[in-house]
Amino acid sequence: MTKRIDFQVDPTAYRHWKVSFDGPVAWLTMDVDENGGLFDGYQLKMNSYDLGVDIELADVVQRMRFEHPEVKVVVMQSGKDRIFCAGANIRMLGGAAHSHKVNFCKFTNETRNTFEAAEADSGQKYIAAVKGACAGGGYELALACNHIMLTDDSSSSVSLPEVPLLAVLPGTGGLTRVTDKRKVRRDRADVFCSTEEGVRGKRAKEWKLVDEVIPNSKFDATVVERAQEFAAASTKPDVAEGITLTPLDRTFHEDGSVTYSTVEVQADRAGRTVTITLKGPEEAAPDDMEAFTAQGAQAYMLRLARELDDAILHLRLNEKELGLMVFKTQGDPEAFAAHEQLLLDNAEHWLANEVLQYWKRVLKRVDVTSRSMVALVEHGSCFTGVLAELLFAVDRSYMMEDEFEGDNRPIATITLTGANFGPMPMGNGLTRLQTRFLDDDAALAACAAVKGEALEAAEADEAGLVTMILDDIDWEDEIRIFLEERASFSPDAMTAMEANLRFAGPETMETRIFGRLTAWQNWIFNRPNAVGETGALQRYGSGVRGEYNMERV
């Protein structure tokens, strides 16, 4: 059986990253264990990385938010001489299945987006302190930082050499950040992305590829000075102590199902579907944020977010043939709303903010997951607030109408809250309701007018919140037909169609990154020019360049 990839890691067992703390400054050192690859068949030389390295990085970034809220500046640096990071490991990419390559690229981009947004979301500013070669995905790590410092010596440079060396793209996030974030002139970007050796010194600063270039003799001292300067200028409130992100309570079953404390994942491999049921709270909401903080990682709203996040990542990488995700909820809508309202009412509290920001990231993870998704609003469900966001993230939603024979659960309702009107924007910068009702201000106003009301099927349908409402006679057959039909379609066509339909509205740097990842990187990673027997990825390091079919397509 294929090795299960686990996205939960223990900081005491990190193999690739070292973290130290000095008051408001954290030092994050990339020191990749060459023999610590996630799979056999390659060594992680020159601080190159695979998914395992990035899983650790994602964990570091997450714990920085929750366990170390005192940190205002994070300095990312290398623990190896004359090399910052060589990027994604080429041997790993050359030998990996296509699906793994694309999921790997998606996860790395999500991780970079997370620490890139840490200053705006959490007041934690990331500095890239670049000494030595900083190439490909290594430069993408730096690009996602808020400030890039480059030492001025003969070996230090930044580069995106994927096109000339490997016949692939710079992770899509690299290209996009060069133009959209760094605002590099298009012709200079063309030169930069076509040059194997990259750019160093004053030219890198002149071309806006870095923020500072510092003589090697002064580099270390200047990095310390800059970190302290940024920390002193930070408006992030001082927080004495964070909470510990304890291990998740979960059990994996042989049939592909997973049981968490608040999430149930039921796999149907024969039907190529998976049902994800989110459970409402069993306990009353804490009285205040002091009580919430005392619960730590066991606080319901944080625990639910962590478990859903882990379930989505697990399904992406380990159950790739479960092409249809069915979302359900079960619980008391009013009880859930009370837990959520505590956070919304105290959004200025550091921990309330972090949990709300985490929910924003989890919902974005759902948005860009390459699976067909449907939500079933059944009797006894609690699609309220952030859980109602799932209704607007999925491709279709079906809701039970009126009473069902033999079903004694409370009648199905949907309740909109403040969480649906701003705190959880998509990658396009709009809320999911705004995206749903593009150019329909009347529909949005109507939704705002019923905020806080428990809407039954006819009312939810009239408000445009669900795709279809079904009564007791039609429910079972209609849902069965939909599930069977959807699971029978080509997954390639579905991935393309869904990615196009989910991101209506404005284009942003974030939507460009994931749009390019879906369209361009997906295509390029299938082309023999890159991955064929004589392709550049296969021949890399052999001294023989790849052979290309020169036809433009």
The Cα–Cα gap between 84 and 137 comes to 11
The CA distance from 434 to 444, in Å, is 7
Cα(7)–Cα(313) distance, integer angstroms: 7
Q: Judge whether 11-233 and 250-496 match in fold.
A: yes
**CA–CA gap between residue 86 and residue 138 (Å, rounded):** 5
Per CATH, which fold does 11-233 belong to?
2-enoyl-CoA Hydratase; Chain A, domain 1 (3.90.226)
Q: Measured between alpha carbons, how far is 238 from 19 in angstroms, rounded to an integer?
A: 20
Residues 381, 382, 387, 393: is their CA dihedral positive or negative? Answer: positive
> What pLDDT sits at residue 1?
39
CATH architecture of 250-496: Alpha-Beta Complex (3.90)
Predicted model pTM: 0.96
Q: Give residue limits of the domains in the chain.
A: 11-233, 250-496, 498-539
Provide CB contacts within 8 A for 185, sequence distance 6+.
207
The residues of the chain scoring below 70 in pLDDT are 1-2, 171-172
Per-residue tokens: 183: 């605002």
Measured in whole angstroms, the distance separating CA 101 from the mean position of its chain's CA atoms is 16
Residue recorded with tokens 């366990």: 67
Three-state secondary structure of 71-92:
CCEEEEEECCCCEEECEECHHH
- Say what the pLDDT of residue 484 is: 96
What is the spatial distance between Cα 31 and Cα 553, in angstroms, rounded to a whole number?
41
| Placement of tokens 């004495």 in the chain | 240
Element (DSSP H or E) covering residue 46: none
What are the phi and psi torsion angles at 171 (to 5°)?
A: 55, 5
Q: What is the pLDDT of residue 276?
A: 98
In the numeric block, which tokens belong to residue 270? 């024969």
135 contacts 163 by C-beta, under 8 angstroms: no
HEC secondary structure over 401-463: CCCCCCCCCCCCCEECCHHHCCCCCCCCCCCHHHHHCCCCHHHHHHHHHCCCCEECHHHHHHC
